[in-house]
Structure 1
Amino acid sequence: MREIDASLAKRPGVNRDLGVELTEVGPERVVATMPVDERHLQPLGYLHGGVSVLLAESVASTGAWVNTSEGETAFGTEINASHLRPKRAGGFLTATGIPLRRGRTSQVWQVEVRDEAERLICVSRCTCAVVRERAGDES
C-alpha cells in the first residue's frame, strides 16, 4: 500500500488547473472535492459531463495507485458514467470512490459525484490497469 505525498496535489496538470483537491485517500475510500465555476461549464452554462468524468477518474486512479506495490502504478483503462442531474456554476462537487475489486493486474472503482446539497450528479465505474513502472516514468 502506498501513501500520497502532499506535493502531488501541487504538481502542474489538469487536477490542479480545475481545482480538484484530494480530501481523503486510503485503500478503501478516496474522496475529492472540486468547485464548480466557469472553467467547468459547457457552452450552455451547465457543468460539462466530461468534468464529472475527470473527477471520477481522478478519484479511481488515485485509489488504484494507493493499492499498488512499490514499482507499480495504475492507469484508467475504461470508464463509464451516468449523468443524473444538471449543475450550474456555484457550489462544489464531492466525489467518493470505493473499490469493487482490487486485483493483481486490474482494479474496479465505483465513484459517486454529489453536489453541495448531497444530490447525486453522476455515478461512474472505472477500471484501472496495474502495471510495472518503467525506468524514467514518474508516478
Structure 2
Amino acid sequence: MRVSGQIEFSIVEQTPERVVGQMPVQAGILNPFGIAHAGAVLWFADVCATVLSFGGTTMEPGQSGFPLAINLNAALLGNQKDGTFTAISVFVKRGRQLSVVRTTVTGDGGRLIAEVTTSHVPAR
C-alpha cells in the first residue's frame, strides 16, 4: 500500500501573545474514511505553538534557540471532511527555559476539533 499526502496552512495572525493559523481540509490530509487525519491536526497545532514559542524572528535550519517540543498532550474532540480548521495558540507559561502553549483547533462554525498543550525548550 502506498500513501501520500500534503499539509498546507497559513499563519494569519502573529503577535507576541498569540498565533492564529488556518488550514484547509483537503485531499492531502484526509484519512481512508474521508475525514482529516489526526496526525495532520496535531502537526498543524504543533507548528502554530512552535511559531508562538519562537517569537517574531525568522526560523532558519540549524538556528540556535529553536523551541523543541518536549511534551505534547492532545484531546481530539471532533473532525470534519471539508472546510477549514483554525488554530489559536496562546501561552500558558512563557519562560526562558520552558514555555507551555495551549492550542485550540476549531472547525467550521467554531466546532471544537482539538485541545493541544505543548511544552517547549530552546535548542542549544
TM-score scaled by length of structure 1: 0.76
Q: Separation in 1 of the partners of 2:56 and 2:119? A: 13
Corresponding residue number in structure 1 for 2:3: none
1:91 to 83, 96, 111: 83
Corresponding residue number in structure 2 for 1:103: 95
Please tell me the residue identity of whatever aligns with 1:76: A
Q: Separation in 1 of the partners of 2:79 and 2:46? A: 19
Please tell me the residue identity of whatever aligns with 2:51: T
1:33 aligns with 2:22: yes
| Count of aligned residue pairs for this structure pair | 114
1:118 to 87, 110, 113: 110
Corresponding residue number in structure 2 for 1:44: 33
Corresponding residue number in structure 2 for 1:56: 45
- The percentage of counterpart residues that share the same residue type is 28
TM-score scaled by length of structure 2: 0.85
Corresponding residue number in structure 2 for 1:135: none
Contact 1:77 1:126 in 2 (8 A): yes
Contact 1:105 1:131 in 2 (8 A): no
Could you tell me which runs of 5 or more consecutive residues in structure 2 were left unpaired when the two chains were aligned: 1-5, 58-62
CA offsets 1:71-108 (integer angstroms, 9 cap, x no match): 522121211111111211x2110000100011111110
C-alpha distance 76-67 of structure 1, shift in aligned 2 (>3 A): farther
SS of residue in 2 equivalent to 1:51: helix
Please tell me the residue identity of whatever aligns with 1:24: E
Correspondences of 1:2-81 after superposition (within 5 Å): 17-66=6-55, 72-81=65-74
CA offsets 1:34-93 (integer angstroms, 9 cap, x no match): 00011111111111111110011011100000078x9522121211111111211x2110
User: 1:26 deviation in Å?
Assistant: 1.5
CA RMSD in angstroms, aligned pairs only:
1.8
Contact 2:85 2:107 in 1 (8 A): yes
Off by >6 Å, runs of 4+ in structure 1? none
